[in-house]
Amino acid sequence: MRIFLSGLAAALTLSTAALAAEPADTAAALRDRALGDATAWTILEDLTTEIGPRPVGSPAMTRAKDWAVETLTTYGFTNIKVEEFAKPTWRRGAESASIIAPYPLKLSIIGLGGSVPTPAKGVEGEVVIFRTLAELEAVPDGSLAGKIAVVTTPMVRTQSGEGYGAVGAVRRTGPSIAGRKGAVAYLTRSVSTSDSRLAHTGIMRYAEGAPQIPAAALGVPDAEQLERLAARGPVRVKLSMASSVDPKSVAWNISGDIVGSERPEQIIVVGGHLDSWDVGTGAIDDASGIAITTAAGKLIGDLPRHPKRTIRVVMWGSEETGGSSEAYAAARKDEMPNLVIAGESDFGAGRIYALQLPARAMTSGALAPLPGLMAPLKIFVSREPARGGGADTEGLEKAGVPAFSLRQDGARYFDFHHSEDDTLDKVDPDDLQQNVAAWVALLYMIADTDIDFRALKDAK
C-alpha cells in the first residue's frame, strides 16, 4: 500500500489556529489546506490499483476489507470496527449476444445484476422493440411468447443526475414485466448517457410471482441499431448468459472515528461504499467517495485539538446490490439518538456546486458562516432541504437521523457508471480536492458546534 503521510505538516501549520480560532476560521484553514493536499488521490489510486473491482462475495472484497482497516489505521482513525452481515451474492459468468438475422452482428451486452442465466445453449427469438416501459406494460400478458423484449428508452443528461432516476425502472423492473408478457429474455438500452458501445450493468430484482427471464443491458449504439433494424423487418437475436448465486456469502461495514474532544458520544456519520461492480475498477463508483470522506476526516484528525463531536467515516460494504444500509442501521440502533447527521459521497468526483442541509438548518446562527466558507469553492448553500444523504444512509434516515447532501456535477457521471469505463483516469485530481475541501469545512463546522438538527426540523 502506498500512503504518503502529511499529518505532521498539517498539524504544525494549523496548530495555533486550531487551538484559538473560531470554528469558521479553522474550517477555512482546513478548506484551503485540502486544495493542496494529495491524500484523497493517494487513497483513490491505491484502492483502484491494489484491489481493483470489488464485487460483494469476491476474494477482492475480502482484500478490500483488510485494505480499509489498514487505511483507517494509518490515517489516524480509532475505534475501528469491522461489522459482518449476511449477504447472498450474484456472480457473473460468460455472456454473449448476437444478431443472427437479417445478418450476423455481435452485440455489446452485459448481464444485469441478479439475472437468471439462460439455458446452456442460450435463447433465441425475434426482438420486439418498445420505446418506453409503458409501451411494454400496455401489451397483453402472454403476447410476447417466444420473443425477446427490448426497451430502448434513452437517458437524459443532467447536472443533478435526475435523468437516471427517470429511466431507472427499465433496468430494475423491466425484466419482470417482460416475463409476465411471455418474453423469453429481456434487453434494455443501457441506463447511460454514453455513446460508447460499452454496456452498463446495475441491479434488477424480479417481482414476486413474475416469471424469471434472463436480462441484460445493451450498449447504447447497439440498442439504436436494433431499433433501426426492427423498423425495417424482423430481427432475430441469440443470447447466452451464465451466472450463479452464493446464498451464504457475507459483507462488511468498516468504520473508524476521529473522536470528539468534548462530546465524543455525539457522532457525525459520513463515508462512501467500498464495493463495486465487477467491471471497471470502481473509481467513480465509489472509490472516490471513500477517498473524499477519508481524506476529510484525516485532515481534521491531524489537528492538535479535535472538534467537539466525533466524526465517523464508514466504508459501507454492499451498496450496489443492497444490504449495507439496513445492516449498519441495525448494528447501531442503540446509538441512534446520538447520531447528529449523516451523509454519503457516492456520485464520483465531479465538482460540488450546492450544499443541501436538513430543514431549517440555516436558521441556526452556528452555521451562518457556511455560505462564506463555500463561496470560494463556487458552492452555494441551497434553500432546498436535503432529500437524503445517500443510499447507505437511508437506514439511519428512516430511524430519524437528519441528512445532508453535497451536490456534485454529474453531467458526465453516467457516461462511465457501472461500466468497464469506470477507471481512475475519469477522475480529475483538482475536482477531487475541491470535494475534500467542501467536505472538510462542512464537517468541522458541524462537529465543533452544538447545532441540533432534529430540534430545528421540529421547530415551528
pLDDT digit string, tens, across residues 221-253: 999 999 999 999 999 999 999 999 999 999 999
CB 166 within 8 A of CB 201: no
Q: What is the CATH number of the domain that holds 144?
A: 3.50.30.30
**Rounded mean pLDDT, 329-345:** 97
Q: Which of 126, 53, 1, 455 has the alpha carbon at shortest distance from 283?
A: 53
pLDDT digit string, tens, across residues 89-141: 999 999 999 999 999 999 999 999 999 999 999 999 999 999 999 999 999 99
**pLDDT for residue 43:** 98
- Say if strands 109-111 and 215-218 run parallel, antiparallel, or are unpaired: antiparallel
- Rounded distance between C-alpha atoms, residue 148 and residue 99, angstroms: 12
Domain total of the chain: 2
pLDDT digit string, tens, across residues 15-59: 443 444 589 999 999 999 999 999 999 999 999 999 999 999 999
311 with 353, same domain?
A: yes
**pLDDT for residue 457:** 79
CB 186 within 8 A of CB 174: yes
Helix axes 39-46 and 288-301, enclosed angle (nearest 10): 140
- Rounded distance between C-alpha atoms, residue 216 and residue 205, angstroms: 12
Q: How far is CA 441 from CA 26, 236, 249, 435, in A?
A: 8, 57, 39, 10
**pLDDT for residue 175:** 98
pLDDT digit string, tens, across residues 367-396: 999 999 999 999 999 999 999 999 999 999
Q: Tell me the whole-structure pTM to 2 decimals.
A: 0.94
CB 419 within 8 A of CB 194: yes
Count other C-beta atoms under 10 Å from residue 221's C-beta.
16
59 with 185, same domain?
A: no
CB 100 within 8 A of CB 72: no
372 with 324, same domain?
A: yes
- Rounded distance between C-alpha atoms, residue 18 and residue 33, angstroms: 13
Length of the chain in terms of residues written: 460
Is position 124 within any domain?
yes
83 with 95, same domain?
A: no
More confident site: 458 or 102: 102
Is position 2 within any domain?
no
Residue 459 confidence class, pLDDT cut points 50, 70, 90: confident
254 with 392, same domain?
A: yes
pLDDT exceeds cutoff 50 at 12: no
Q: Considering 192, 221, 244, which residue would you say is the last residue of a domain?
A: 244
| Catalytic member of 95, 319, 397, 420 | 319
Range of the domain at 164: 90-244
Residue 319 annotated as catalytic: yes
* DSSP of 34-89: HTT--HHHHHHHHIIIII----TTSHHHHHHHHHHHHHHHHTT-EEEEEEEEE--E
Q: Which of 305, 306, 325 has the alpha carbon at shortest distance from 317?
A: 325
CB 448 within 8 A of CB 309: yes
Cell of 251: 459483507
**pLDDT for residue 21:** 57
Residue 216 confidence class, pLDDT cut points 50, 70, 90: very high
Q: What single DSSP character describes residue 347?
A: B
Query: Is the link from the previous residue into 346 a cis peptide, with omega within 30 of 0?
Result: no
Q: Which amino acid is at 82?
A: V
Is position 1 within any domain?
no
- Supply angle C-alpha 167, 151, 285, rounded to 5: 45
Q: Considering 209, 244, 279, which residue would you say is the last residue of a domain?
A: 244
pLDDT digit string, tens, across residues 52-62: 999 999 999 99
262 with 239, same domain?
A: no
Residue that the C-alpha cell 425475434 belongs to: 126
Indicate the helix (H) or strand (E) that contains 331: helix 324-331
183 with 315, same domain?
A: no
Q: Considering 244, 262, 283, which residue would you say is the last residue of a domain?
A: 244
pLDDT digit string, tens, across residues 400-451: 999 999 999 999 999 999 999 999 999 999 999 999 999 999 999 999 999 9
**Rounded mean pLDDT, 348-367:** 96
**pLDDT for residue 4:** 39
**pLDDT for residue 460:** 61
**pLDDT for residue 3:** 41
- Rounded distance between C-alpha atoms, residue 36 and residue 59, angstroms: 35
pLDDT exceeds cutoff 70 at 190: yes
306 with 429, same domain?
A: yes
CB 187 within 8 A of CB 118: no
**pLDDT for residue 10:** 44
pLDDT exceeds cutoff 60 at 9: no
Q: What is the mean pLDDT of the chain?
A: 95
Residue that the C-alpha cell 425484466 belongs to: 175
Per DSSP, which regions of 159-207 are E strands?
185-189
Count other C-beta atoms under 10 Å from residue 330's C-beta.
12
Is position 239 within any domain?
yes
54 with 188, same domain?
A: no
60 with 152, same domain?
A: no
Cell of 120: 446452456
44 with 125, same domain?
A: no
Q: What is the CATH number of the domain that holds 423?
A: 3.40.630.10
Is position 32 within any domain?
yes
- Supply angle C-alpha 421, 425, 427, rounded to 5: 100
115 with 59, same domain?
A: no
Interacting residues of 354 by C-beta distance below 8 A, sequence separation 6+? 379, 380, 381, 382, 406, 407
